[in-house]
Amino acid sequence: MADIATRVHNHKWKIDPIVRSLIDTDFYKLLMCQSVFRNKPDTNVTFSLINRTKTIRLAELVDEGELREQLDHIRTLRLSRGESTFLRGNTFYGKRQMFRPDFMEWFEGMQLPPYHLEKRDGQYELTFEGKWPEVMLWEIPALAVLMELRSRAVLERLGRFEIQVLYARAMTKLWEKIERLRQIDGLKIADFGTRRRHSFLWQDWCVQAMQEGLGPKFIGTSNCLIALRHEVEAIGTNAHELPMVYSALARDDAELAQAPYQVLADWHEEHDGNLRIILPDTFGTEGFLSRAPDWLTTWTGIRIDSGDPATGAETAIRWWQSRGEDPRQKLVIFSDGLDVGKIEELHRQFTGRVKVSFGWGTMLTNDFRGLVPDDGLAPFSLVCKAVSANGRPTVKLSDNPNKAMGPADQIARYKRVFGVGDQAAVEVVV
């Protein structure tokens, strides 16, 4: 196991680039990429970095030269033979050869496209433009670089022994959480913390701690590279990106209304009936479920990723019941803003009513709250989203209006088309 404190103290070693592999990314990015490669390969998209926590002035914390060096390094990465063999030959979700030969041939020769970087009002404007299958693969590495460079900037102020004590405290903090989770009968939990992790080395340590501390209750990680290294399951399905881009391509309101369901029809065909998890909140869960075609009721489950999680789960249960399905046979994956207390609460509330699983993100891989002066390592809300497709703006409404994004006139249009009424605002922490 790596001596994290020593490696951090010497963090400029070339042994520790922030992103060290093209598969140091969330598994669902690769699954979505294959679907996009097949269905929408020529769509031009723009992705943009968005810092929701304006008080964190990244351009004043993070050196531009270091940022460019890390981004340039990522553009040199190619799949290694071992990584290609892992993706080509492994069994994911019980299916062998999840990734098709044509996609793998493309991926093995792929280079991430150029980036555009500027400073504005204390923040970095970082954008990526090009063909959707290539540009989408920038999202997770871009977030990982900015999150870790911020961590490194804060840690530069500390001495070697301070860093050792810091990590000892962080390890103790996480282990105490694991000891609480260990007491939950029937728990199923995965690491979803790649996109806002403190660092690669820390996420790697967290996964090993979960493996040892939770045993079979720990069901895998979203990070493909860490899954490969530690022989755990790679976990992931799909994300908001797909309906956001499909909807932006819609030619009229009728096509817009059907776009989220077209995404899932393409997904169903792509995966031969596997990975059938619905993410319903892109344009509001209530409206999505009320208009959903009957074939979606047979899918395995739903992921709850915004708004009040208990409300989202109750909505899903009512929907299944209204369509003649038994909720006890369905899976609800909670994945938004989780920490131990909320996991305990939701598990108590819904066990026996549905199958319950958790994707634990930022508070697993980046909970350094209270461990340095001025709380300088507290997690913050940084995203990298598709903001346009073929020149048309994208929109995300979410079940939390504080997470909505897009031009005001388009947000109003989408609310009308998808029948989104009043929503309860929830503070966005991460």
Q: What's the mean pLDDT in 369-382?
A: 94
Backbone φ, ψ for residue 318 (5° rounding): -60, -40
The pLDDT-based confidence of 7 (bands split at 50, 70, 90) is confident
pLDDT computed for residue 14 by the predictor: 54
Please name which of 337, 372, 340, 409 lies closest in space to residue 52, comparing C-alpha atoms: 337
pLDDT in tens, 12-23: 555 578 999 999
CA distance 144 to 76: 16
Give per-residue pLDDT as tens, 32-63.
999 999 999 999 999 999 999 999 999 999 99
Q: What is the pLDDT confidence band of residue 359, given thresholds at 50, 70 and 90?
A: very high
The 10s digit of each residue's pLDDT in 333-345 is 999 989 999 999 9
pTM over 0.85: yes
Instruction: Name the phi and psi angles at 385, rounded to 5.
Output: -125, 155
* Coil vs helix vs strand at 189: strand
Q: Give the amino acid at 262.
A: Q
Average pLDDT taken over every residue of the chain: 94
| Amino acid letter, 278 | I
CA atoms within 13 A on the CB side of 276: 14
> Can you read off the two tokens belonging to residue 125?
């404007």
Per the listing, tokens 């968005």 go with: 50
**CA 197 to centroid of chain Cα atoms:** 11
